[in-house]
Amino acid sequence: MKEMPNILWLEEIKKEDIISVGGKGASLGEMTSIGLPVPKAFVVTAQAFRRFLIETGIEDTLFRRLERLDVEDNGALESVSRDVQDIVLSVDMPDHIREEVIDAYARMGANGTVVAVRSSATAEDLPEASFAGQQETFLNILGDVDLLDAVQRCWASLYGARAIYYRAKQGFDDRSVNIAVVVQELIRSEKSGVMFTSHPVTGEPLTIVEGSWGLGEAVVSGSVSPDNYVFDLRSERVVDRLVAEKEIMIVPEGEHGTKVVELSAQQRTAPVLSDAEVARLAMLGKIAEDHYSVPQDIEWAIVGDDVFILQSRPITTIRRPEIPRPGSESAGQPKGPLGVVLLEGQGASPGIASGRVVIIRDVRDTSTIRDGDILVTKMTNPDMVPAMRRVKAIVTDEGGMTCHAAIVSRELGTPAVVGTKKATKLLRDGQVITVDGEKGTIYEGAVEAPAAAAPAAAPAAAAPAPMITGTLVKVNVSLPEAAKRAAATGADGVGLLRIEHLILGLAKTPGWYVEHGAEEEFIGELYGGIKTVLDAFPGKPVWVRTLDAPTDEFRNMQGGEEEPIEHNPMLGWRGIRRDLRSPEQFRMQIEAFKRLWAAGYSNLGVMFPLVNHPDEFIQARAMMKGWGVDVENVTLGVMVEVPSSAILIEDFIKAGIRFASFGTNDLIQYTLAIDRNNEHVADMYEPEHPAVLRLIDYAIKACREHGVECSICGQAGSDPDMVAWLVGHGITSVSANIDAVPRIREAVARKERQILLDAARRNA
Ligand code: PEP
Ligand code: MG
């Protein structure tokens, strides 16, 4: 470590230097080393920071202040953070470091270069750890004085309250965490955009380039429809070009920030890129793809004749579905009960509906949807929910019974077929089709449904007067707007309220609200949404689950760029493990619950998702207590979604859970290693697999023995056969989808009577 210089240029950085330059610095260095034109930058290394601490003599005082800190004490955390940052800012940077920074800056270009100054934190023992978003970034910095100030502020930001808390919770010793600072030329792009180095759906060697005028923010945030160019890497030609009408561009504003500018009539319809520029970008993309061995999602910018690559990360969406041979579908097509079958998938939400196909490849296209159309897309995402409300049916290429499209369609009462593999390829815009959401079949034309099969969204209110059952029959809710329909089923409460659908609908990540000091807005949204559901179920239990969205679902939202890129988001940073490590995000949720409890909603229970060890429950409860929740007198429970939590159920009970609920959607995938959203293995996804049943049986027995309520809220709770089995094995309540509540209640009643009858006969 002693040998490491204070300054490293990107060209000098090697992979092993991550410990000195942090993740951000290392990634820029790697892109540079493979010949990608990355904007000029140097890194003020972690060692420079360390020398600064030692040579100014502040090191000991600083770490001693941090050592005694109880990070759970908010007041103390804030005050120590302020003190330590003041210490870092109050001393002068040693002359030799200052001179080296100024010297490097001068070498960037004559007359001062406008730069971005970004923190890149790094841990000695775990250099790969991500501290993304915890430290500061300063844009539009010009001149020696401002640059030195920005570097020192980046250093100080290592001791922001949030960063200290995060490290403490992650188990990092403050002494072992360092900070490097990237000083990079700020690119005032004339044109910019993104590209996928291979087709993002099929994986074909087609580079898709999207571009617009000005800064890349316009394309990334979706505020402009970019031009779209397709470059075939085999023929090395642009094979498709769609020049969009671009209304605005985003440009830097003065010293800070950006502004939106209206485009001239000429620029609006002019193509952003020439064929030569598309080819150049595609070639750079190929270099990145070859180097990383996986297709890349790349941000690029162009100024004059210079092309820059700003970021490169793997595309996670490629599924390689079968590509239908053109013209091969119509001959000898199979016939179904309603006519010619075009496609089949999984029936995810019951009902039959006909309409005009609208293929949506991007949420920005949803404006073309008219009421009563049929939405056909690869997979829906939270931004599409407003469009999903307007359509008569939904068809997707991907997904299984528990994917986003399936869950939301069921709540909206809209027929849906998911996992067709090729609907977006096979169907054409404007084509009229009929969707059978029960059977999972798509028919050609508008065909008459047999009277009994229609209508699609038979209102649950039409259910007969509820039978009384000993086993409570509850309902699952994700969208507050579905609360009334859910309550009209006569359900005995809500066994699962998934708040992530409410949050994902806000279009900004929880992290964004924290970053922008807009916590109150987030808490208000959550409070309002949950209250709507509580009001629909007065006096009945409503179990609200804390946030459980995989990181890829946040990606398209504002703030989504801060989400880590995960190789396997289903096994990644989601569920309670995310909240425990993002206390600010957890606290906002708890604050909303706290206010609801204070407002008299004592029927609100809180359920933690994806727990795999009782310590997670204990820690979550302790944090709630720290934030002023009377944890002894509120209902807290866990989802059993991971085999470990079923196996350790007794320890969870000892830790004090009031209830456990089987999340079979996940429990099945984690027990059998079958991706629940992968249409290619959907037929192997087996809810009644003996291993799954044995885990459930084991956990039910333990809960019964200790008088802890035991329930189910996964999709298997909407299957009458499974529910009969669960009742036979002693489950205390079940929770089903809205459409399934009447048949589940019947299945429960039938099974209970059978048990009573059997007992009576035995005793007779
Ligand atoms: C489950 O895993 O069964 C569950 C209900 O949670 P989700 O479907 O939201 O993952
Ligand atoms: Mg789950």
- Integer Rg of the chain from CA: 28
Query: How does pLDDT run across 507-558, given as a tens digit for each residue?
Result: 889 999 999 999 999 999 999 999 999 999 999 999 999 999 888 888 878 8
The average pLDDT across 727-746 equals: 94
Q: Which of 70, 80, 148, 157 has its CA nearest to residue 121? A: 157
Q: Reply yes or no on whether 404 is catalytic.
A: yes
Burial of residue 567, with CB atoms counted within 10 A of its CB: 0-12 exposed, 13-18 middle, 19 or more buried: exposed
What DSSP assignment string belongs to 173-185?
Answer: -GGGEEEEEEEEE
Element at 87 (helix H, strand E): helix 74-90
CA atoms of 28 and 22, how far apart (whole Å): 10
Q: Which of 37-51, 76-90, 151-165, 355-369 has the lowest mean pLDDT?
A: 355-369
Asked whether the predicted pLDDT for residue 628 surpasses 70, the reply is yes
Structure tokens of 755? 């048990």
Q: Which residues surround ligand 2, an ion (CB under 5 A)?
A: 641, 663, 666
Helices (H), 508-642: 510-515, 519-536, 551-554, 575-581, 583-598, 614-626
Nearest to 667, CA basis, from 638, 690, 687, 637: 687
Q: For 598-634, b where at least 16 C-beta lie within 10 A, e where not — what string?
A: eeebebbbbbbbbbbbbebbeebbebbebbebebeeb
Atom in ligand 1 nearest the alpha carbon of residue 548: 9
Q: Is the CB of 299 under 6 A from ligand 1?
A: no
Q: Could you tell me which of 182, 675, 738, 756 has the C-alpha nearest to residue 461?
A: 738
Pocket test for ligand 1, best of 401, 407, 498 (most atoms within 8 A of CB): 498
Q: Which two tokens stand for residue 608?
A: 């933690």
Between residues 71 and 192, which one has the greater pLDDT?
192
Residue whose CA lies nearest to ligand 1 atom number 6: 663
Q: Which of 154, 403, 710, 713 is catalytic?
A: 713
Region of poorest pLDDT, from 81-95, 407-421, 723-737: 407-421
Would you say 127 and 150 are in contact if contact means Cβ atoms under 8 Å apart?
Answer: no
**How many other C-beta atoms lie within 10 A of the C-beta of residue 303?**
14
**Is ligand 1 within 6 A of the CB of residue 402?**
yes
Cα–Cα distance, 573 to 550 (Å, whole number): 7
Ligand positioned closest to the Cα atom of 667: 1
Confidence band (pLDDT; 50, 70, 90) for 458? very low
Summarised one tens digit per residue, pLDDT across range 193-210 is 888 898 765 678 889 898
- Residue 216 · residue 262 · CB < 8 Å: no
What number does the ligand 1 atom closest to the CA of 641 have? 2
Which residue's CA is minimally distant from atom 7 of ligand 1?
665
The ligand 1 atom nearest the CA atom of 662? 3
Average confidence (pLDDT) over 434-456: 73
The widest CA-to-CA distance across the chain, in whole angstroms, is 100
Closest-CA residue, ligand 1 atom 4, reads 663
Between 224 and 761, where is the model more confident? Answer: 761
The reported pLDDT for the residue numbered 682 is 85
**Which of 499, 641, 696 for a ligand 1 pocket mutation test, highest count of atoms within 8 Å of Cβ?**
641
Residues 492, 473 contacting (CB under 8 angstroms):
yes
Instruction: Give me the pLDDT at residue 123, please.
Output: 80
- Condensed to tens digits (0 to 9), the pLDDT of residues 123-132 reads 876 666 666 6
- The DSSP output letter for 299 is E
Query: How many A from CA of 555 to the centre of ligand 2?
Result: 19
Tokens of 105: 């800056």
User: How is residue 310 written in tokens?
Assistant: 């700003």
Nearest CA to ligand 1 atom 8: 665
Give residue-wise pLDDT tens across range 659-694: 999 999 999 999 999 999 888 888 899 999 999 999
- Assess contact for 343 and 376: CB atoms under 8 A: no
Give per-residue pLDDT as tens, 27-61.
899 999 999 999 999 999 999 999 999 999 999 99
How distant, in Å, are the alpha carbons of 489, 580, 764 from that of 634?
27, 19, 44
Please report the DSSP string for 739-756 in residue order. GGHHHHHHHHHHHHHHHH
Candidates 666, 672, 692: which one to mutate for ligand 1, based on the most atoms within 8 Å of Cβ? 666
pLDDT for 456 equals 39
State the burial class of residue 763 (Cβ atoms within 10 Å of its Cβ: 0-12, 13-18, 19+).
exposed
Taking the centre of ligand 1 as the mean of its atom positions, its distance from the CA of residue 407, in whole angstroms, is 10
| Alpha-carbon span 530 to 479, nearest angstrom | 9
Pairing of strands 709-712, 659-662: parallel
Q: Given the DSSP bridges, would you call strands 494-498 and 472-477 parallel, antiparallel or unpaired? A: parallel
Q: Is 403 labeled as catalytic in the residue annotation?
A: no
Mean pLDDT score, 730-747:
94
Q: Is the CB of residue 27 below 6 angstroms from any atom belonging to ligand 1?
A: no
Quick one: which atom of ligand 1 is closest to the CA of 665?
A: 3
- What does the chain come to in residues? 764
pLDDT at 8: 96
Q: Alpha-carbon distance 464 to 742, whole Å?
A: 8
Our mutation pick for probing the ligand 1 site, out of 543, 665, 692, counting the most ligand atoms within 8 A of Cβ, is: 665
Ligand 2 centroid distance, CA of 404 (Å)? 12
Closest atom, ligand 1, to C-alpha of 666? 2
Ligand nearest to the CA of 610: 2
List 403, 404, 703, 710, catalytic entry: 404
C-beta 713 within 6 A of ligand 1: yes
Rounded Cα distance, 518 and 599, in Å = 22
Give yes or no for residue 496 CB within 6 A of ligand 1. yes
What's the gap in Å between 592 CA and the centre of ligand 1? 22
Banded model confidence at residue 439, pLDDT cuts 50, 70, 90: confident
Residue 664: CB within 6 Å of ligand 1?
yes
Determine if ligand 1 sits within 6 Å of the CB of residue 665. yes
